[in-house]
Amino acid sequence: MADKKARLTIDGLDEAIELPVYTGTEGPDVVDVRPLTGSGRFTYDPGFVSTAACESKITYIDGGAGVLLHGGYPIEQLAEHSDYLEVCYLLLNGELPTPEEKDKFVNIVKNHTMVHEQMNHFFNGFRRDAHPMAIMVACVGALSAFYHDSLDIDNAHHREVCAYRLVAKMPTIAAMCYKYSIGQPFQYPRNDLSYAENFLHMMFGTPCAEYKPSPVLAKAMDKIFLLHADHEQNASTSTVRLAGSSGANPFACIASGIAALWGPAHGGANEAVLTMLEEIGDESKIEEFVARAKDPDDSFRLMGFGHRVYRNFDPRAKVMKKTCDEVLHELGIDDDPLLKIAKRLEQIALEDDYFVQRKLYPNVDFYSGIILKAIGIPTTMFTVIFALSRTIGWISHWNEFHSSPNKIGRPRQLYTGPSKRDYPE
């Protein structure tokens, strides 16, 4: 039932069109434009930046106020009191788990971490220098060939098991992408380790010696996972929902999300931060590049500063900055030239009036890029880790879509091509 009504007057129509207006628990009112169809008209909204394509209870963002809520809980509180798997449970179920529910969930995830042994052979079809994201898209899509006969997307239990499998296997697949690229043997997951510790073990462990993950680095990795878990209706999440609307296999839907995330305008932002630092190259050139960033006629931009959604400080960046400082202190990194450049740029962005007035604060991508580099993860793996983290958000939205009446996505268009014409004789 609509809370309010809006009336739209269009030239050429005798009567105004009455449009229902809905009010959510947070955010602006939404005008239901579906009645326009009866008049033979549609709305025009390139990029869907002014269109609510779905109703959701999972995540809410107020970019102007710098607010990010999962199930109503502020991201800062979740980062302080929770961990990644608990947030996974929250996104899937809408409520935080009891201690018993969390233990059960963690154990289920741990028991699904292995991938089918045939997946090992699948990697041999890729070049060694293939981008890890290309491999990940293919491997996650290939999971649909391993889990299909017993999967009924209309069955709530089947969807739940699918979510468990994806959350559990993504770190394994991500680490396999890395190991394959450097020619090292795959490391099997260890169920005695936490989610983040297990990922670091599979990334950096070898059969030659036992790898003991640092508690500080494991905590930082968990924070990165948690802070990237979901971000409302972004490009990749909308892609997963749209692919899922056709009834496609969920593993294929998640692969479509990974493909969308790969773009530098989306998930490749933290990789772009390191590329920028490498372009600057030396502390002595910082002032030169900052001046270029301020020049509207120069194509150079400082990556990792400001955010398309947040017009204030990115709430995730506050948590990531603290974690970044902890990691650099733990590793005792003082002489890495790129990290020196990063710390100086951070200082400039927080103090220079040009950046402060425009609210171009360091964002989560800036700090997560520094952390991942400090840990020893190559830049080509940054977006893979983002995809690993975001999988829970994607599968939660996919599950939400299929948990209620739905219809296939079918956007309209404004056609500007030639009118009907005859084929020349």
Q: Which residues are identified as catalytic?
A: 266, 307, 365
CA dihedral for 198, 204, 209, 215, sign (positive or negative): negative
The answer to whether 242 and 409 are in contact (CB under 8 A) is yes
What is the C-alpha separation between 224 and 221, in angstroms, rounded?
A: 5
* Angle, helices 215-227/195-204, rounded to nearest 10 degrees: 110
Per DSSP, the residues of 304-359 read TBS-SS-SS--HHHHHHHHHHHHHHHHHT----HHHHHHHHHHHHHHH-HHHHHTT
What distances in angstroms separate CA 67 from CA 38, 93, 232, 316, one per listed residue? 38, 21, 12, 9
Q: Are 75 and 69 in contact (CB under 8 A)?
A: yes
CA neighbor of 160 nearest in space, from 120, 118, 101: 101
Rounded to the nearest 10°, the torsion over CA 199, 204, 205, 211 is: -90
Q: CA-to-CA distance for 193 and 217, rounded, in angstroms?
A: 14
Residue 236's H or E segment, with its range, is helix 235-244
How far is 333 from 331, CA to CA, in rounded Å?
5
Strand partners, 305: 362
